[in-house]
A = this chain, B = another copy of it.
Amino acid sequence: MKKIAVLPGDGIGPEVMAEAVKVLDAAQKKYGFELAYTWADVGGAGIDNQGKALPEPTVTTCEESDAILFGSVGGPKWEHLPPDEQPERGALLPLRKHFKLHCNLRPAKVFKTLVDACPLRPDIAKDGFDILCVRELTGGIYFGQPKGRHGEGGEETAFDTLVYSRFEIERIARNAFDAAMKRGKKVTSVDKANVLTSMVLWREVVTEVAKEYPEVTLDHIYVDNATMQLVKDPHQFDVLLCGNMFGDIISDECAMLTGSMGLLASASLNAEGFGLYEPAGGSAPDIAGQGVANPIAQILSATMMLRYSLNLGEAADAIEAAIAGVLEAGTHTADIAREASTVVGTAAMGDAIVAEL
């Protein structure tokens, strides 16, 4: 019996989470494993119900669980709050820090049947691409100290510190090389070693770690060039290894280049394999409550959870195959609908995936 902390959050979060749980329930029956869910408030729901984006009881629930299944947080209702207290920053950054979730995995894959949704020209998109972004998530300029603000008038300054240690770089580099070993055996490390001292160390350490993986090819690319090459030819990449800030930027660019954000999941892992699993897209307040949101990213987040934290790879494979089957059959939510689609709502999509499973 595994314990799952279920944090649906705001906007479309609760709707798509319901479908993920529906699919997990079906998988439990089929594959004979047992999950116990504890639901908890996070984000705007945390603020509204318990006064803060990450209430203490939610943290306790997560601590007592084997994994966190996260929906999405944020919306116009909470945008007037100071940045620190807003749903996104107030919930995600402390969760990452508290559970030491240093390794963020963001697959950006174009589904074969949805290649025409890719915003790139067909001769560039070809038959789709498949990139895994590996982003360092608990260091760099997000958490580096000191941060501050001082002075007055025109002289007033505000500052942040981008800092990386050899240990932090080694750890995330190994995550990237390990992932590459199971894929295309190619790592492209994104840095700005021509300008930043921290990135000179980054490049050095990544180059050293590469020696432990003689089968994997390592390239280095400057972050500015990376944003260009992704647009010019995304097929050249297999695993993209990035620090926290560059990973934030590059993984979102990759996601949008697939043309189907509603299908992208992510995992944020610590060194022990505990993790937080969440869709790559946002809380989409504009369509919340209408039953039209695409639940697939949330369901794929659940399959990443089965694979990485619960060692249930077989069930994960089966759910992913079911999703591919449903998409190939032309059953699509509105966000990925095309001419020949049968357009369905959130719950019907969940049902279709369960049926296919």
Residues of A near any B CB (own CB < 8 A): 83, 86, 88-89, 93, 118-122, 124, 141-142, 144, 147-149, 151, 153-167, 170, 192-198, 200-202, 223-225, 227-228, 231-232, 245, 248-250, 252-253, 255-257
Contacts and interface: CB of A to CB of B under 8 A. Distances in A.
B147 A154 contact: no
A154 B141 CA distance: 19
Q: Indicate how many identical chains form the complex.
A: 2
B159 A197 contact: yes
Contact of A149 (B93, B159, B160, B201): B201
Question: Nearest 8 CB-CB pairs, A to B?
Answer: A158-B201, A154-B167, A228-B256, A159-B163, A227-B253, A224-B252, A158-B198, A157-B165
Binding site of A, secondary structure by majority: helix, strand, loop or mixed? helix
B144 A159 contact: yes
Given A224-B249, A252-B227, A253-B253, A160 B158 contact: no
Contacts of A227: 227, 249-250, 252-253, 256
A121 to B, nearest CB: 6
A160 B196 contact: yes
A129 to B, nearest CB: 13
A198 B119 contact: no
Contacts of A83: 193-195, 200
A41 to B, nearest CB: 20
Contacts of A197: 147-149, 158-160
A123 to B, nearest CB: 9
